[in-house]
Structure 1
Amino acid sequence: MQKSNSKLPNTQLPQSARPIVSTLPSQQRGLVFSSLILIVIIAGMVLLALYLIKLDRTITHKFEGKRWDIPAKVYSQPLELYQGASVDTDTMKTWLELLNYQSNKAYDRTGTYHKSGNTYFIHTRGFTYSANDVDKEQVIKMTINGNKISSVQSTLPAKSGIIRLEPVNIGGIYPDSNEDRMVVSLDDVPQPLIDALIATEDRAFYEHKGVSVRGIARAVINNFSGGSRQGGSTITQQLIKNFYLNSDRTLKRKANEALMAVLLELHYSKDEILQTYLNEIYLGQNGKRSINGFGLASQFYFGKPLKELRLDQQAMLVGMAKGPSIYNPRRNPNDSKERRNIVLGNMLAVESLSQEDYDKAIERPLDIVEKPVEGKSQFPDFLDIVKRELNTVYYSDDLKNEGLTIISTLDPIAQLAADKAVDKKLGELRRKSSKTKDLQGALVSANPETGELVSVVGSGSEFTGFNRAVDAKRQVGSLLKPVIYMTALESGRYNLASSVDDSPITVNLSDGTKWNPKNYDNRDHGYVPFTTALSQSYNQAAVRLGMEFGIDTFAKQLKRMGVKEDIPPYPSALLGSVNLSPMDMLGVYQVFATGGFRTPIHSIRTVIDDRGRILQRTGLNTQRSIPPETNYLTNYALQQVVATGSAKRAKSLGSNLNLAGKTGTTNDFRDAWFAGYSGNYVSVVWVGRDDNKPIGLSGGSGALPVWVDYMDRLKLTPVSLPEPEGIEWLWLENNSGKLSNERCTDARYLPVLSAHLPEEASSCALGLYQQDRAREQSQLQNQQGNFEIPNGEAVDTDSQENSDEQDENDADTWYDRAVEWF
C-alpha cells in the first residue's frame, strides 16, 4: 500500500489556517506604545496642571497680599493760616516754592495760586493726616498786612478757624530693596495718561485675555531668525515680567510670562491690573534708589502730583516706559522729547487726541525740575534725627516697608534760616585764620513751650551720618554756669544783688593735687555783684559758688533738667568740662525758657499707617523741673548776660525782646557755644573743629554771630515769663544784696524770693529811712502841738492805753513796714 504524503505547501492552506505568530506581537507593541503616549500625555497634563497651580498660587499670593515694600514718608509740620497769624509775604513765597505751587491767574487747578497785592488766592492740593483728619482741596483767599494775616477765607468750612497749607516732603525711609514708589489709585491717574499708555504699549488691552498671539508669534520669529529681539508683550505681560519674573530673554521665561498673564486676567479685572502696572513700572533712578510707578515719577521729574501734569508731561512719562535710561529727560532731553512726541502721535492715531491738542503739545518744553522733590533730602540732618527717634519705638523693617506717614515738627522756614545762617557765618569765620579754616558748626532750635524741634544743622555740605547736633559730644564750657547760680538762688543764701567772691581759689583734688582755675582775662575781680559774675562769666566766682553747694548738688540739678549723661565728680565740671551735645544743651535751656517746665525735645508729631490709623501722637509730656520763682530769678540773670554781659551783640535783634542766654568757651578756645532764647525760640549753636584743635574763638566771637544771624531771620516774640507767686520786687544794694532805696546810688530794683527776703539794710538806705522817720515824727509832733483840748478836758487814759498797745503791735510789724518802705 502506498503511503500518502500528508504535508502540503503553505500556499495551499486555507487563509484561516495560516499562523498569526508575527501579527499578534505587532498589535501588542502598538497598544503598549499608545498606552505609553497616553500616560505621558496624562502625566504631562498633570504636571502642567500642577505647574499652573503653582503659578496660580504665586500670582494670587503676591497680588492679594503685600504687593510692595512701601517706604515711610516724612513731612514737615503744615503751615497754619488764621486771622492774626504771624505770616508775612516772604514766608508765603518760600512755602509755596517748597511745595512747587505754580503762579496762575485762574488758580483753577490744584497746586496753583495767584497773588494780587497782598492778597493770595491758593488752590490747595489737600492732605491726609489720618483717616479722620483729611484736608480736601480748596481755594483759600488770604490777605496779609504787615507781618500778620488780616483776613482768611476758604471754600470749605473750618470749624477751628485754622486752615492748613499742606506740609513739605522732607524725605523717606527706604526698603532694603532700594525701591521707591508712591502708590496711587486709578482714580488719581489722569485719563489722558491712561490713553497714552494704551495707545503706545497695548492698544488691545481691553480686548485680549492677557496675551497677544500675534505679538508672541512676531517675537518668536524674530528671535529665531536672528532679527532684532523684541517682545510685543501686552501690558499684562509687562506687569508679570516686572512683578514676578526677570528680564531674561529666554523661551522659558516668555512661556511663563504668557501663562501667568492668562492666569492673572482670569483672577483680576483690567482696572486692577492697570493700577498695579501704573505703580510697578520702573521709570528711572535716583542715586541708589529706583523710581517705580507714575505717581513717584511725576514728583521726581516735575515736582507735582500726577493730576497736575500737562498732557505733554504725561506723555513723556509714558514714553520713558520703553527705556528709562535712554529717554531720561535730564540726561537725554532730545531723545526724551522725541519719544514723547511719538507717544503723542500714537494718541492722535487712535483718536484719543485731537490734531489741535497734538500740535500744542509737541511744541511744549519738557519743563523738568532741576532739584526733584523726591530726590536727596534738602534737610538731611533733621531727617536723621527723625529716624533716630523712630528707631526707639519701631522695628526697622516696619519703617522701611509699611508705607508709614510721619508728620514731623520741622518748620521749613526756620530750617532754611538755620541753613543760611550757618553757611554764611561759618564761611566768614573760616576766612579769618588758619585755625578756623576747617571750622565746623551745629545749630539746634525748638519751640520752648512744646519742645518741638524746628530746625537742625549738624553736618557739612554732604551728610555722612555724623550729625554734630547729636553726635558731637564736646565740652560745653560756661553754658553750665547758670545752673550753679540757679542753685545759689534756690538756697535763699543769695539774691540777684548779692556779692560773689572772684578772688583766686585753690581746690584740693582727691588725688592730692591742687586745681587753680583762672578767668579768661587772667584777672581777679574781687567781690562782684551776683549778676555781674554770671554776665561776665567769671570762672573763679563760679567755682567758689559751685563748691559751696557741692558737685553732687550740681550733678543732681543737671539730671533734674533732663541731662542723661553722667556728670564727672570733678570740680572742673563746674566750668563745663562735661561732654554734652548741642541737643543736650537745648534741653537744659528749654527749661529756663519756659519758667522751669521741662518738655522733652522731640521731632515727631504723629505717625500714621497706610490705612490712615494713628500709631503715635506725641503729646505734651511736661514736668516741673525748677521751682517757678527760682527760674524767674535765673531768667532775669540770663537776660543780664544779653543786656550788659558777654552776649551784648544779641541786643541788635531788639532791646524790647528781653532775650536771655549764655556764652560758652572751653580751654584753649577749642569750642565756642551760645545758648539762648526769645519768647518763641530756644536755640543752641556750637562752633569748633572735628579734630578738637584750638580755633581762637570765644562763644561771643564764634557761636553768638551764628545765633544772632539765625534768630534775625525769624519773627521773634519777647521773653515774658509770668511772674509767679512767691516773688517780690525790692530795691537792693548791688554787690551786697541788702535792702536799699531807689535814691541810693547802687540800688537796683530786683525780684526777690518772698521766702528769703533780706534781713539787713544798706547804710545808705538806713540813713534815708532814719531821716524819713525823723521827718514823720517831727510832722506828727507839730500836728499834736497845734491841737487844742476843748474846755480844758483831760485826755482819756483808756485811749492812751489803747494807743500804747497799738505802738507795741506796730513794733511787731516794724520789719514788714521797713521792707515795704525799702
Structure 2
Amino acid sequence: MLIAGGLALALYGVQLDEVVREKFEGQRWALPARVYARPLELYVGRPITREALIGELERLKYRRSAEVERAGSFDVDDDRILVRTRAFRFWDGAEPEQRIAIRIADGLVTDMRSGDNGRDLALVRLDPALIASIYPTHNEDRVLLSRQQLPPMLIKTLLAVEDRRFYQHHGIDPKGILRAAYENLLAGRTVQGASTLTQQLVKNFYLTQERTLERKAKEAYMAVLLDRRYSKEEILTAYANEVYLGQDGSRGIHGFGLASRFYFDRDLDELGVPQVALLVAVLKGPGEYNPRRHPEKATERRNLVIDLMAYHQVISAEEAEAAKAAPLGIEEGGARPSGDYPAFIQLVRRQLQRDYRDADLRSEGLRIFTTLDPLMQTQTEAAIGERMPKLDAQRGLPAGTLETAAVVTSVSQGEVLALVGGRKTDYAGFNRALDAVRSVGSAIKPVIYLTALARPERFSLLTPIADRPISLRVGTQLWTPQNYNRRVHGNVPLYRALAKSYNLATINLGLQVGIDEVASMLKRLGAVRPIQVVPSMLLGSVSLPPIELAQVYQSIAAGGFRAPLRAIREVLNADGQPLNRYPLAVEPVVSSDAAYLTQWAMRKVVEEGTATWLKQRLPEGMQVAGKTGTTNEMRDSWFAGFSSDRVAVVWVGRDDNKPMGLTGSSGALRVWGDIMAEIDSQPLSDEIPNSIELADACGQRDIPFSRGHAGATTCGGGGDSDSEPRGDDAAPKRPQDRQDTQPQPAPPPPRERQEPRNTSPFMSDFYGN
C-alpha cells in the first residue's frame, strides 16, 4: 500500500509539474495594450514657454522637489527648470534617466545642459504620457516589472513581513508551519498564517481561493515543485507581478507595479518608505486594509509594517518615526488613464483594427505610440471651451446648443496632433470629428480652383472668370443659383473669385473644367466617401466629416503631395521589440505649381476676402491660408486652413441640423483663429518656388504665374466694388436667401462613375472605397 501510494503520489506530482511548467514558462498574463502620446522633445531653439513645459511635466505626474533626486521630479530655480527624467524604452532605443537644466526665454529653449556634469545636451525626450489602456476581457490589469525594476527596499520589506526564510526553505517552511500552529493553538483561533511567498504565488497563479485541506495540500505540493524547478529570483519576480492588491470597479489590481500607480499615481521606483510600507500592509487583506475605504485600519497596519522594517534594519529608527507621521498620500484616479482624449483614442482604435485582432489588443501587452500632442490638444480644447459659449450667446441660443469638431495635423508628417469630437471633450460618445458627415459648403471651392490651376495652358490666377447669372436644367427643374449677396460682379480675376467666394464665378469655372474633373481631384486629394457628381457639388453639396476634409486640405498645404493622415507612429510588443511601423507615405497627386498658386489665392481669402477677421486675431506676421464654408440656411459653419506646418479644420453646427444663424466667418473661423493663436505654428513662407515667377498684369503687381503658363492674361472688368468682403460669408439679410450649396429642387441621382481605388492606410479603413 505504501509503494502504491508513493507511486500514485509521484504520478500526481508529474502531472502537477507539467501544469507548473506550462503556465510559468508560457504566456503568464493577459496584458492590456498601452497607448502613449507623443514624447515631448526638447532642444535648443524649440518654441515652448515655461508655463507650457511645467504643464507638460505635471501631466506626466512629475513631482516638485527641491532636491530633484528621484526620477519623475522637477523644480523651478529662478530662470532654470531642473528635471530628473524617467528612463523609458522607445521604439528606436532607450532614453536614460538623467538630470537636466533647461533655460527658457521669450518662448524658446535657450540652453539645455546635464544637471550632473554641465555638458550641453542636443536632444532630450521625456517619457510619453500614458493616455489609454485596452484591457483584457476579464478586466485584470498589471504593469509587468523585471527583477531589476523591483526596488531593494520593497523586497527587503516584503520578506521581513511575509516570508523571512524565503531563501532558506524549499517552497514550504516546516518551521513556520509549527510556529503558526503553536500560536493558533494558544489563541484558540487562527492568528498567524504559515504560507510562504511561493505558496501564495501558487494559490494566486494556479488555484482557487477555496479553503479546503485538499486545496492546501495541492498548494504545498505545487510550491515544492515550483521551488525545485525555478530560481528564487524568478519566483519572487512572478509573485511581485501576480499578487492581488485591490479592486478598481470591475478591474482587479495585480502586482506592485500597478498598485503603485493605483494608490499613489507614481511608478514603483519613485516611492518612499511610507508608500512601500502601505503596499506591503495591503497584502494582508486588500479589502480590509483598503486605504480609500478604511484609512484608519490601513494606517495602523502600515505603521506596524514600518516598525518591522526598522526592527529588521531595512530603515533606521529616525526614518521609521518620520514615515509613521506621514499621511497615507493616496491619489485619486491613479493607475487608469484619465480618459481625457476619448475622441483621439477612437481614431487610434480604428487604425489599429486594420492590423490587429481585438483579442491581441486586449492580451498581448502591446505598446502603441501615437501622434497625439497633449500640449496642442489642451490648447485646442481650451480654445473651444472659451469660444463656444460666446457663439451660443451671440445667437441667443441656450447654452450647449451648438456643437463643434476640430482636427489639427502636421503638414510635413501627416500626423494627427489634436482631435476634438465635441464640446464635451472627455465624453466618449458620438465623435463628430470622425463621424459627423455634413455638407462642406464653400470649403470645397479651393478644390475647384486647384483643378483649374492644374491646367496652366488655360488658367492662371488672373484669368477672367465670369461672375454672371446661370441657369441649369436639373431633371425637369431649373436651377438658378445666386451669389450670397444676390449681386453679380462681371468678369473677375480667378484669385479674387476664390478670395471673395463668389458662387456664380465658381460655378462657371467648375463647368469649364468639368464636374467630373473636380470630383476626381477631390478623390485624389484624399476624400474617400462616394461623391454625387452633380452641379450642386460645386457649391459644397458634398458631405464629409472633418477628418476627411482635413485630409483634402493637408494635400493642398503639402504642395500637392498626399500623406495619408495617421494617428500611430510605432507598435511594440510586451518585450519592447518593434512589431509595426506607420511611416510617412507620400504620393504626388497634383502639380506643385498648381498647389502653390492655390495656396496663394487662399492667402487672399485671409488678406482681403471672407476671413479678414484673422488678421486681428493672429499674432502679427502669422501668415495663413484657408477657406470659409457655409451651407444652406446656415446649418453648417466651416473653416479649413493652414500655416506652413499646421493644418486645422473646424466645424460648428447643431446635431439636429437646424439653422443656427452662423456663417463660416462668424462661427468656425472664430474657433479656428483661437486655436491657431495658441498652438505652436510657423507662418507661411514668402519664398517662391523656382518654377513660379512674378509678373505685372493688368495694373496689378507681383501676381505669381507658373513658368509653363501659355494662356492669355486678359483681365476683365467688373471687380468687386464693395468696401467690405462680400463672399459667401457676408451677413445675410434673411437665412432663406441662401442658395449656395444645394440646388432647389433636389438634383437627380448621381451618374455612375469609376473612381480610383483609395489606398490610404488610414481613410480607407473608415469608409471603404
Q: Does TM, scored on the shorter chain, surpass 0.5? A: yes
Rounded to whole Å, the distance in 1 between the matches of 2:363 and 2:671 is 39
Q: Deviations over 1:629-655 (max 9, x none)?
A: 111110011111111222222222034
Q: Match for residue 658 of structure 1?
A: 623
Paired amino acid for 2:14:
I
1:498 counterpart = 2:476:
no
Distance 2:487 2:50 in 1: 51
Corresponding residue of 1:572: 536
Aligned counterparts, 1:360-759, within 5 A: 360-372=322-334, 374-431=336-393, 432-434=395-397, 437-459=400-422, 460-492=424-456, 493-509=458-474, 511-651=475-615, 652-720=617-685, 722-733=687-698, 740=699, 747-756=700-709, 759=712
Cα contact 2:463–2:714 (8 A) shared by 1: no
- Native 8 Å contact 1:681 1:716 kept in 2: yes
Structure 1 pair 353–598 and aligned structure 2 pair: CA distance change class (3 A): same
Alignment of 1:80-91 (within 5 A): 80-91=41-52
* Cα distance, 1:722 vs structure 2: 4.3
Query: Is residue 2:181 matched to residue 1:233?
Result: no
Which structure has the higher relative contact order (CA within 8 Å, separation 6+)?
Answer: 2
Cα deviation for residue 588 of structure 1 reads: 1.0
Taking every aligned residue pair, what percent have the same amino acid on both sides? Answer: 43
C-alpha separation in 2, matches of 1:252 and 1:428:
70
Shift of 1:456: 1.0
Query: In the aligned structure 1, how far is the partner of 2:184 from the partner of 2:239?
Result: 26
Would you say how many aligned residue pairs link Structure 1 and Structure 2? Answer: 710
Work out the CA distance in 2 between the residues paired with 1:358 and 1:407.
Answer: 41
**What amino acid is the match of 2:401?**
D
Shift of 1:438: 3.0
| Inter-partner Cα distance in structure 2 for 1:88 and 1:278 | 41
Distance 1:504 1:655, change over 3 A: farther
Match of residue 788 from structure 1: none
Moved over 6 A (4+): 156-160, 219-223, 761-764
Structure ranking higher in helix proportion: 1
C-alpha displacement of 1:515: 2.1
Deviation at 1:200, TM superposition (A): 2.4
Counterpart position of 1:58: 19
For each residue in 1:128-163, what CA deviation from the matched residue of structure 2 results, as whole angstroms up to 9, or x when unmatched? 114x61111112222222111222223599999322
Contact 2:82–2:101 (CA<8 Å) still a contact in 1? Answer: yes
Structure 2 match to 1:141: 101
The aligned counterpart of 1:810 is none
Q: Is the 8 A contact 2:463 2:715 kept in 1?
A: no
Structure 1 unaligned spans of 5+: 1-37, 734-739, 741-746, 765-822
Deviation of 1:397 (Å) = 2.5
Shift in alpha-carbon separation, 1:674–1:393, aligned structure 2, 3 A = same
Deviations 1:40-89 (A, max 9, x none): x5544443333222221111111011111122212122222222222221
User: Residue 410 of structure 1 aligns to which amino acid in structure 2?
Assistant: L
Letter in 1 for 2:103: T
Counterpart of 1:191?
152
CA contact (8 A) 2:389 2:399 kept: no
Q: For the structure 1 residues 159 and 655, does the alpha-carbon distance in structure 2 shift closer, same or farther, using more than 3 Å as the test?
A: closer
In the alignment, residue 203 of structure 1 is paired with which amino acid?
Answer: R
Change (3 A) 1:634 1:310: same
In 2, the alpha carbon distance for the partners of 1:448 and 1:287 equals: 42
Alpha-carbon distance, 1:711 to partner: 1.4
Give a deviation string over 1:287-306, Cα, whole Å, max 9, x none.
43322211122223223221
Equivalent position SS for 1:254: helix
* 2:343/2:428 contact within 8 Å kept: no
Residue pairs, 1:233-382, within 5 angstroms: 233-372=195-334, 374-382=336-344
2:733 matched residue in structure 1? none
Q: Deviation of residue 710 (structure 1)? A: 1.4
Q: Using a 3 Å threshold, how does the CA distance of structure 1 residues 602 and 319 change in structure 2: closer, same or farther? A: same
Cα displacement string for residues 65-122 of structure 1 (whole angstroms, at most 9, x for unaligned residues): 1111122212122222222222221221112111222222322222222322222222
Deviation at 1:749, TM superposition (A): 2.8
Deviation of the 1:197 alpha carbon = 1.8
Distance 2:324 2:625 in 1: 61
TM norm structure 1 = 0.81
Whole-Å separation in 2 of the counterparts to 1:692 and 1:274: 61
TM-score, normalised via structure 2 length: 0.87
CA distance in 2, matches of 1:643, 1:207: 81
CA contact 1:138–1:156 (8 Å) conserved in 2: no
Match of 1:768 in 2: none
After TM superposition, give the deviation of residue 272 of structure 1 in Å: 1.3
Residues 152-203 of structure 1: CA distance to partner in whole angstroms, max 9, x if unpaired? Answer: 2235999993222222221222222221111111221222212222232223
Amino acid at match of 2:236: L
SS at match of 2:131: strand
Write the letter of the residue equivalent to 1:723.
I
Q: Give the secondary-structure state (helix, strand or coil) at the position aligned to 1:421.
A: helix
**Alignment match, 1:203:** 164
SS at match of 1:751: strand
The structure-2 alpha-carbon separation of the partners of 1:750 and 1:287, relative to structure 1 and needing over 3 Å to count, comes to: farther
Q: Does 1:101 align with 2:62?
A: yes
Structure 2 segments unaligned to the other structure (5+ residues): 718-769
CA distance in 2, matches of 1:538, 1:762: 17
- The one-letter code of the counterpart of 1:456 is L
Q: How many Å apart are 1:127 and its aligned residue?
A: 1.2
The AA in structure 2 aligned to 1:576 is G
In structure 2, what is the Cα distance between the partners aligned to 1:118 and 1:676? Answer: 36
Whole-angstrom CA distance in 1 between matches of 2:277 and 2:241? 16
SS of the equivalent of 1:97 reads helix
- Distance in structure 1 (CA, Å) of the matches to 2:582 and 2:226: 44
Aligned partners of 2:379 and 2:678 also within 8 Å: yes
Deviation at 1:571, TM superposition (A): 1.6
Residue 729 of structure 2: aligned partner: none
Amino acid corresponding to residue 671 of structure 2 in structure 1 = V
SS, match of residue 701 in structure 1: coil
How far apart are residue 449 of structure 1 and its match? 0.7
Q: 1:216 to 1:378 in 2, by over 3 A?
A: farther
Q: Is the radius of gyration larger for structure 1 or structure 2?
A: 1
Local SS of the residue matching 1:648: coil
The separation in 2 between residues aligned to 1:92 and 1:370, in whole angstroms, is: 24
Deviation of 1:359 after TM superposition, in Å, equals 0.3
Structure 1 stretch displaced more, 185-194 or 582-591: 185-194
Distance change in 2, residues 1:95/1:419 (3 Å): same
SS at match of 1:657: coil
Conserved 8 A contact 2:341-2:425? no
| Change in 2 beyond 3 A, CA 1:404/1:628 | same
